Amino acid sequence: MSILKLECRGPVATVILNRPESRNALNVALLLELRTCFESLDLEPDVRAIVLAGAGPGFCAGADVKEWAAEKEQGAPAHDWVAEAIAMMRTVRNCSRPVIARIDGACVGAGLDLALCCDFRYASERAKFMCSYTHLGYNPDAGGTWLLPRVLRLQTARRFIYTGELWLGTRAAAEGLVDVALPAEGLDAAVEEFAGQLASGPTRAIAESKRLLAVTYQNDFETQLALEQAAGLRCAATADHREALAAANERRAPTFRGH
């Protein structure tokens, strides 16, 4: 059975971590497949939104500590887990398509970092969130110290990281870690509806906006204005922009095709 499943319904691709027996823990093989999958989807013009989910009773339990421990005992591993995790996180975060994490069950450690690399996080009320690195006597090493303070207040991020405390979905939503927490039975439908909304939007404009937001905190105002102007010229050349202008003049809703 494949450790990663891909399901496509129209312009929405759903990527499913498929190691339910380990709560979808990230072993090296899964890191490599996930990175390759996102690289491929980012080049697929028919894919306009991506959902990332986990099979079985969890989203992702973080690093596969059993594999990690076994490789330490055997000597030099074939792959550097941390390096592969960083490469995978970078690929997911830099994907030009909007990405929604659909979270039910455990979302901890590097699994939480993976969810934070997504643009949106929809969780069930019973989902469990934990920055579990400190329980292993280890620091976050897959982007968590950069991602968490940008989603939470810095002081809240400190407490969450230092203590390794557990938050259920409702607490995660209240703190802003996830966009919304829903009863488990309504999660799939809510994510499907939102993914459809994103996939029906102006794909290039969303991609350009995503790139601009990714660098906004490192630029001054004048630099960001220049980047916006350049992105605007690229958007102006798209069929979706021409359709939007025509729809505005004709007083109708636009039909975006993603190009």
In this structure, is residue 178 part of a structural domain? yes
Q: How far, in whole angstroms, is CA 33 from its chain's centroid?
A: 15
The C-alpha atoms of residue 107 and residue 225 are separated, in whole angstroms, by 37
The span from the CA of 107 to the CA of 151, in Å, is: 16
For residue 255, is it within any domain?
A: no
Strand order in the sheet with 58-60: 58-60, 106-108, 128-130, 167-168
Q: Which residues form the domain of 121?
A: 4-199
Residues 169 and 59 sit within 8 Å (Cβ to Cβ): no
Same domain membership, residue 241 and residue 116: no
Question: 183 and 219 share a domain?
Answer: no
**Would you say the pTM of this structure is higher than 0.95?**
no
Residue 259 covered by a domain:
no
What is the structure's pLDDT at 10? Answer: 95
Check which CATH number belongs to the domain holding 186 and give it: 3.90.226.10
- Within a domain: 79: yes
Each residue's pLDDT tens digit, 128-166: 999 988 888 888 888 999 999 999 999 999 999 999 999
Per-residue pLDDT tens digits for 113-132: 999 999 999 999 999 999 98
- How many whole angstroms separate alpha carbon 202 and alpha carbon 41? 17
Phi then psi dihedrals of residue 101, to 5 deg: -85, 125
**Pair 22, 47 in one domain:** yes
Phi, psi of 55 (to 5 degrees): -80, 150
Whole-number Å distance between alpha carbons of 176 and 230: 32
Q: CB count, 10 Å around CB of 68?
A: 17
Contact 30, 17 (CB under 8 A): yes
